[in-house]
Amino acid sequence: MNAITVENLTRKFGDVTAVDGISFFVPQGELFGLLGPNGAGKTTTINMLATLLRPTSGRAEVGGFDVLKSRDDVRKNIGIVFQETALDGKLTGRENLEFHAMMYGLPKEERKRRIDDVLDLVELADKAKTLVEKYSGGMKRRLEIGRGLIQHPKVLFLDEPTLGLDAQTRRRIWDYVRRLNRDRKVTIILTTHYMEEADFLCDRIAIMDHGKFVALDTPARLKDILGGDVISLEIEGDTDVLDKAFTSLDGVKKYVRRGEVVNLTVEKGERRIPEIVTLAQQNGIAVACVHLRKPSLEDVFLHFTGHTIREQEAGIVERNRGMMTRRRRRS
């Protein structure tokens, strides 16, 4: 049985299509990732599945219940951790959980058992009586994950759960997420724009771009699509000459040049490096650095969208700045 079933789900905001006819399913117990830059449609998708936003068209079921026809039943079966902190800093960790459990109507004795269990799970039992305003960023995220588990959800939505956290804290959050999925058998839908996070955690990943799914598969199969090793060269010289030379080279499955960095996807990359460096030198190109690696999800994203995720985000930021500038001029 599927925990989530989605068919042609679409959401428009005026003339802007935020989510554009996506279809997918998530089996029970899967850790499913939505990968993409800010503005790709990940959060809008989560909000529709969590009944916080009505779809413009299409349908979706979560936990066997229709998100439009059975909203209350959906909400009883899900937990959600938002991008933005929704904790009350003037309450203790336990009091935040207590308030949330009361909102779900849990009886007093069951509330106590669930809160104790959750505090142990996220390793905050010793901080239960501390005001949340004194928590670190990582502690707050762990408490929010715990809050999302209070009512024993069948499906847990994690929307950018490690956004803004340092690398060490992010890895700890990853461990909690894996444990929830593996030991508690919670189906998890994770949105992220961190490639390594999706690669480490997810059973399957959907890459979103401009409201659509451009790819959906396991991390390993997505990376296998590129079929080879990636040789990266930092170069100096006439890159137009190099483009012609490299694109005509036998065995080059993919060639991408971005400024002074060239990426070639080839089989048995370690054996091709001397040949490729020699070819560059013969064409008057100085090679400053060579790096060999296996394809990453960043390479997959580049393959399907024509941009790296960082370039996508930079474009979104630039568009937002332009919109703010135009609004100021009008005002």
CATH number of the domain that residue 277 is part of: 3.30.70.100
Contact criterion met (CB below 8 Å) for 274 and 168: no
Parent domain of 12: 2-218
Report the residue count for the chain: 331
Residues in CB range of 158: below 8 A, 6 or more apart = 81, 145, 148, 177, 188, 189, 190, 191
Shared domain check, 248 and 213: no
Q: Over the stretch 157-206, which tens digit does the pLDDT of each residue have?
A: 999 888 888 888 888 889 889 988 998 889 999 998 888 999 999 999 99
pLDDT band at 25 (very low <50, low <70, confident <90, very high): very high
Q: Which pLDDT score, from 0 to 100, does residue 12 have?
A: 96
Q: Over the stretch 30-46, which tens digit does the pLDDT of each residue have?
A: 999 999 888 899 999 99
Shared domain check, 20 and 148: yes
Shared domain check, 67 and 191: yes
Residue 302's Cβ-count burial label (10 Å; 0-12, 13-18, 19+) is buried
Return the residue matching tokens 């065995």.
Answer: 251
CATH number of the domain that residue 170 is part of: 3.40.50.300
In this structure, is residue 193 part of a structural domain? Answer: yes
What value, to the nearest 5°, has the Cα angle with vertex 122 and ends 179 and 62? 60
> Which of 174, 192, 218 is at the close of a domain?
218
> Please, which residues bridge with residue 26 across strands?
4
Q: Over the stretch 36-72, which tens digit does the pLDDT of each residue have?
A: 888 899 999 999 999 999 999 999 999 999 999 999 9
Q: Which pLDDT score, from 0 to 100, does residue 318 have?
A: 47
Among 288, 311, 287, 317, smallest CA distance to 298 is for: 311
Contact criterion met (CB below 8 Å) for 197 and 162: yes
* Residues 158, 119: Cα–Cα separation, whole Å: 18
In this structure, is residue 26 part of a structural domain? Answer: yes
Return the residue matching tokens 């006439």.
Answer: 238
Mean pLDDT computed over 147-152: 86
In this structure, is residue 303 part of a structural domain? Answer: no
* Residues 58, 223: Cα–Cα separation, whole Å: 30
What's the mean pLDDT when you consider all of the chain? Answer: 87
In this structure, is residue 119 part of a structural domain? Answer: yes
Shared domain check, 131 and 69: yes
- Strand order from edge to edge, sheet including 16-27: 16-27, 2-13, 57-62, 65-66
Q: How many domains does the chain have?
A: 2
Has residue 313 got a pLDDT over 70? Answer: no
Shared domain check, 42 and 78: yes
Has residue 294 got a pLDDT over 90? Answer: no
* Residues 189, 186: Cα–Cα separation, whole Å: 10
Greatest C-alpha distance within the chain: 78
Shared domain check, 205 and 75: yes
